[in-house]
Amino acid sequence: MSAFINEVTIMGNLGRKPELRYFANGTANLRVSLATTEKWTDKDTGEIQSSTEWHSVLLRGGQAERVAEYMDAGDKLWVRGKIKARQYTDSDGIIRVISEVHTKEMKIINTRNRKKTNDDPVHPEDIENTEEPEDDPLESFM
């Protein structure tokens, strides 16, 4: 067992309609942005404040296909995975580094097509086991 842990769990809303793509080997690939919003009351003014974080999430295989088929902008998705950094060169030739969540498990919480009856929190027994194989076809793209 490793002494290190790289695991993240996020539940948020999709920023836009998912666009499914396929690798040359036929594996489905989907990148989505998930928004998580934290709210609090300002101690000085009593006003409600909020801050939204955007998370880049990568799904592949059956997970990618399900999210692309059933979800749209604003729908809620729960994911568990690991954080990976990736480097790319932008259109100006500048090398950029981004962090993204590579999903191992996911659960569609609600969609415009299939809403839950209330906003109950996710319980472990509700989580669909959607683990994808450990071999990562994206390794060759990083």
Cα 99 to Cα 87: distance, rounded to the nearest angstrom: 9
Does the pLDDT at position 75 exceed 50?
yes
Confidence of residue 114 (pLDDT cuts 50, 70, 90): low
- Cα dihedral 123, 125, 129, 131, rounded to 10, equals 50
Alpha carbons 16 and 23: distance in angstroms, whole number: 21
Residue 112 pLDDT more than 80?
no
pTM for this predicted structure: 0.73
Residue 55 has phi, psi (to 5 degrees) of: -120, 130
Q: Would you give the DSSP letter of residue 120?
A: P
For residues 30-44, average pLDDT: 95
